Amino acid sequence: MAVAVAGRVAPGRRLGRSLLVGLIVPVALVLVWQLLKSLGALPYQNIPAPTDIGAAAVQLAADGQLGGNFLHTLLACLAGWALGSALGVVLGTALGMSRWTWTYSMASVEVLRAIPAIAFIPIAVIVLAQTLQMEIAITTWVSIWPVAVSTMNGVAGVSPAHSELARSLRMSRMERIRKLALPTAAPKILVALRLSLSGAFALAIVAEIVGDPAGVGYALVNAQQQVRPDIMFAYIVLIGAAGLVLNALITLAFRRLAPGFHLAQTSGGSDGR
C-alpha cells in the first residue's frame, strides 16, 4: 500500500496517477478516430478503424505469427544490446582511465560514433548475409557508443580526493576501476543503457525491413506488399507497446539496483547518439 511521507505523495502512487493521466489523450484520439471512420468522415481507404486494427492483432496472436516475429526481434535487440553495452563499458573505462588511450583513440571514436548505424546495414548484409547474426551486429554497434561515452565521462569524474586516497592505499588499477571508477560512473551508465536499448530495438526493426526476411520489420513489409493496413497498424501499435514494456522493465531494474536513483536527474549528462 502506497504511503504518503511528510505530506508528499508516495512515488508508486504518483507514477500510477501519471500513467492514468497520460492515457487520456491517446484514448481520446482513438475514440475520435473510430467515430470518424464510423461516420464516414475519414475517407482514406488505407486507414483502418481501430476496431479493425484490434481484430488484426487478435488474429495475428491466434495464428502464432505475432509471438514468433516479436521473439525474433527481441532476441536480436537484447543480444546486441547486452554485447554492445558490455563493450561500451570496457571502451569507456579505458578511455576515461588512461590519458594515453584517450589521446590516441578519441578522434577515431568521434568519427565512428558520428556515422549512423543504419549506414552499416548494407555492409552487414553483404558480410553476414540475411541472418540473425547480421541484426545482432547492427544492434551491437548502435549500443556501444552511448554507453562508451557515458562511461568515459563518468569514470573521468572521480574526484581528486578519491584518486589521492587510492594512491595512498596503493590500490591496483583493477581495484581503482572496481571500487572507484565504475561506482562513480554508474548513474551515467544506467541512463546510457536505457537509451541504447531504445536504439537497439529500433535498429533491429530497421535491419529486418532492409535486410533480414524475419521478425517484426519483415512482417511490416509483408503486410505492405499484401495491402493489409490493418496488420501494419497492428504491428506499429504493438511495437510501441513493446517499447513501453522494455522501458518499464529496465527502469524497474535500475530502481532495484540503485534505490533512490532518478533517471531524469542525470539524463542531461548522457549521450543519446
Which residues face 8 on adjacent strands? 5
Q: Assess if residue 17 is contained within a domain.
A: no
pLDDT at residue 73, as a whole number: 92
The number of distinct structural domains making up the chain is 1
Q: Assess if residue 249 is contained within a domain.
A: yes
Where in 152-199 does DSSP place strands (E)? none
Q: Assess if residue 32 is contained within a domain.
A: no
Q: How many beta carbons lie within 10 A of that of residue 178, not counting itself?
A: 12
Residue 218 C-alpha cell reads as 519483415
Q: For the segment 24-59, what is each residue's pLDDT rounded down to a tens digit? A: 787 888 888 888 877 777 777 778 888 888 888 888
pLDDT at residue 266, as a whole number: 43
Tell me, what DSSP letter sits at residue 178? I
Range of the domain at 137: 52-269
Q: Assess if residue 19 is contained within a domain.
A: no
CA distance 117 to 199: 9
CA distance 6 to 237: 40
Q: Assess if residue 181 is contained within a domain.
A: yes
Query: The pTM is what?
Result: 0.77
Of 155, 91, 146, whose CA–CA distance to 113 is shortest? 146
Q: Assess if residue 1 is contained within a domain.
A: no
| Cα Dmax for the chain | 78
Q: Assess if residue 187 is contained within a domain.
A: yes
Whether the Cβ atoms of residue 61 and residue 238 lie closer than 8 Å to each other: no
pLDDT at residue 203, as a whole number: 92
Residue 66 C-alpha cell reads as 505475432
Residue 213 C-alpha cell reads as 526476411
CA distance 57 to 81: 27
Which residues face 5 on adjacent strands? 8
Q: Which residues of the chain have pLDDT under 70?
A: 1-22, 158-160, 162-166, 173, 258-273
N- to C-terminal Cα separation, the chain: 39
Q: Assess if residue 6 is contained within a domain.
A: no
Start-end of H helices in the chain: 11-22, 24-39, 50-63, 65-97, 99-114, 121-128, 132-155, 160-168, 173-176, 182-210, 215-225, 229-257, 263-266
Of 212, 221, 192, 232, whose CA–CA distance to 85 is shortest? 192
CA distance 196 to 116: 13
Question: Given phi > 0 = left and psi -120 to 50 = alpha, else beta, which region is 215?
Answer: left
CA distance 101 to 76: 31
Whether the Cβ atoms of residue 141 and residue 84 lie closer than 8 Å to each other: yes
Residue 52 C-alpha cell reads as 479493425
Q: How long a stretch of residues is the chain?
A: 273
CATH of the domain at 93: 1.10.3720.10
CA distance 249 to 46: 34
